[in-house]
Amino acid sequence: WLLARQKVFADAAGKATRMLVALLDITERKTTENALRLLSTGMAQLSGEAFFNEVASRVAEYLDAEIGFVNKLQMPANTRIRTLGLCIDRQIMPPVEFDLADTPCEAVIGKQPVVLPEQVRQRYPAFRMALDLGASGYAAVPLFDAHGKPVGAVGVMSRAPLRQSAERIEALLRLFAVRTAAEIERLGAEARFKDLFEFSADACLIVNQAGIITAMNQGARSLLGYSREDLVGLPGDVLVPERARAEHAGMRRNFHAAAASRPMGSGRTDLYARRKDGTTFPADIDLHPLQTDDGAVVVATVRDMTGHKR
């Protein structure tokens, strides 16, 4: 009888275990599906700080952790880390910057995933962030740009030991890593473009498809006599002498219909530009189409050709 009862209990325990494993497997699959859906649609319109904070919040949620983060390696020394997104106890927090040395981030950045289910404070006693937050578990995966260059990490910390398996944690973090690294790279390219635009030796303007000026650099301010506040938001026609404005709208439509880099002036046509004070000057203008998150725009460089004409 006892042997029979033991077999019944064993069978019941085995069945319960299989059911639990099946439920956990279903839960993990649903979490993965939710993460993929979020990345492909729910976060498609987010960028910059809003995107990084959403990633930090979601990885913490999906991995049952109190802290989620997106870290960026600080250039050029590569010895410090700054959080681009940080969520603590479901609250978005301001950025934190700290030294990379003697932290688990040092073992992650540019190397390989690290999953420490517990005792992160004991293993990294100099990791002030973990000490201040009372963290026990830590997990992160590295972020790389399109050329394989390390740019940061995405991960979580928890005050209790991490409950999910290392494989599960790493797999979910990797889902977010690719999109997060791409966003870091996009912002870097955008920053480099802004620097090139602002400090170009030429006067540069950005004009949208409606013909409205959306940006200007310091060269344009000097050459045209406008401040940024004066010019941005006005139609580009204000820079065209009045005698030539009637045909300008048609020229703009033709350019956008078959957008391609196009030089103008320099003897090819009799082209003039107009300053804020109403004076005009012979101009050499290059037009370059550019696709941005806000749609197609034109980058126009303007050079004063008075000396050349003379």
Label each residue of the chain as H, E or C.
CHHHHHHHHHHHHHHHHHHHHHHHHHHHHHHHHHHHHHHHHHCCCCCHHHHHHHHHHHHHHHCCCCEEEEEEECCCCCCEEEEEEEEECCEECCCCEEECCCCHHHHHCCCCCEEECCCHHHHCCCCHHHHHHCCCEEEEEEEECCCCCEEEEEEEEECCCCCCCHHHHHHHHHHHHHHHHHHHHHHHHHHHHHHHHHCCCCEEEEEECCCEEEEECHHHHHHHCCCHHHHCCCEHHHHCCHHHHHHHHHHHHHHHHCCCCEEECCCCCCCEEECCCCCEEEEEEEEEEEEECCEEEEEEEEEECHHHHC
Here the tokens at position 27 are: 């839960």
Burial of 223 (0-12, 13-18, 19+ CB in 10 A): buried
* Whole-angstrom distance, CA of residue 4 vs CA of residue 15: 17
* Whole-angstrom distance, CA of residue 171 vs CA of residue 89: 23
pLDDT at residue 19 above 50?
no
pLDDT at 21: 40
pLDDT at 262: 67
Largest CA distance in the chain: 115
* Whole-angstrom distance, CA of residue 154 vs CA of residue 308: 55
pLDDT at 231: 92
pLDDT at 9: 47
**Using one digit for the tens of pLDDT, what is the confidence trace for 220-278?**
999 999 999 999 999 988 998 888 777 766 676 667 666 667 666 555 557 888 999 99
- Alpha carbon 296 to chain centroid distance? 20
Using alpha carbons only, give the angle 301, 304, 309 rounded to the nearest 5 degrees. Answer: 130
The model's confidence at residue 76, banded by pLDDT at 50, 70 and 90, is: confident
Q: Which residue has the tokens 């190397």?
A: 111
pLDDT at 123: 94
* Whole-angstrom distance, CA of residue 183 vs CA of residue 176: 11
Give backbone dihedrals phi and psi of 227, rounded to 5 degrees, phi first. -85, 165
pLDDT at 153: 95
Here the tokens at position 120 are: 């992160």
Check the CA dihedral 141-168-90-41 and report its sign.
positive
Here the tokens at position 43 are: 């976060």
The model's confidence at residue 104, banded by pLDDT at 50, 70 and 90, is: very high
For the chain, the first-to-last Cα distance in angstroms comes to 115
Q: Are 81 and 70 in contact (CB under 8 A)?
A: no
